[in-house]
Amino acid sequence: MSLASGSSGNCYYLGANGYGILIDAGIGIRRIKKTLKDSGIGLEQIMAAFITHDHIDHIQSIGSLAEKHDIPVYTTQKVNAGLNCGKYGKKLTFSRRIIEKENPVGIKDFEITAFNVPHDACDCVGYLVVYKQHKWVLATDVGHIDDTVSNYIRIANHLVVEANYDREMLQHGKYPAFLKSRISDGYGHLCNSETAVFLAANFNFHLKNIWLCHLSKENNRPELAYQTVETEMEKRGIRIGKDVNLNVLKRDMPSELFLLE
Ligand SMILES: [Zn+2]
Ligand SMILES: [Zn+2]
């Protein structure tokens, strides 16, 4: 389930029988609690929180999760060091865990692997979560799809991938020039067409679900992101809804709880 997705906050929940993990915690702790509770999930069932990078839209609540709820927070060494400098430094004394990229960590039946993602943050990662026969992959805040990101996307059965902006909307939008180039310079975010072209060109029939994430409020529209991917897929004869499901995650509303089978 996506609790929120976009530049104003990101948080994902993956659950199995009676327990689960969070990936990113970029919204308020009360909102995390309430959204989980609405789906019948208590915070005490959360075994761990894994962080992609230290931009505020991904880490807002890690202090409360770690401090008040004793939930271990997993980051790479460099992200952990970055957190020391920020306001979360003191709060995370006992509940920090360090992960290495490409080195899987087990949490009950989940096996979680961080992989490198090019982005304008220190040591940004994506995640592969393996549960039984399912491979779930998150690739968010992706400047460009390099070989590593590509390898992980291509093994996914269930893929959450960024479609941040529409090129035209960004170009003609009201963002200042420096911000426009920061977003699109290869270390910012993925645009709809980059994601669409890549997904269509690298489609595998083991991919069952795609969720487009981290949509910009200013420079994108959910229908546009959806159509861009659908059009590229259809050019190659891949049928949305038959060969693969396509969803767009909402910025500030939780998704339904998707059951993977
Ligand atoms: Zn972000
Ligand atoms: Zn970011």
Q: What is the pLDDT of residues 53-83, one digit of tens each?
A: 999 999 999 988 988 899 999 999 999 888 8
Q: Which ligand is nearest to the CA of 9?
A: 1
188 C-alpha to ligand 2 centroid (Å): 7
Contact yes or no for 247/257 (Cβ under 8 A): no
Say if strands 11-15 and 20-23 run parallel, antiparallel, or are unpaired: antiparallel
Q: Which ligand is nearest to the CA of 118?
A: 2
- The owner of tokens 């039984």 is 132
Q: Which ligand is nearest to the CA of 6?
A: 1
188 C-alpha to ligand 1 centroid (Å): 9
- Residue 71 CA to residue 56 CA, distance in Å, equals 19
User: Is the pTM for the entire model greater than 0.75?
Assistant: yes
57 C-alpha to ligand 1 centroid (Å): 5
Q: What is the pLDDT of residues 219-255, one digit of tens each?
A: 999 999 999 999 999 999 999 999 999 999 999 889 9
Q: How far is CA 30 from CA 27, 38, 54, 60, 220, in A?
A: 9, 12, 20, 11, 28
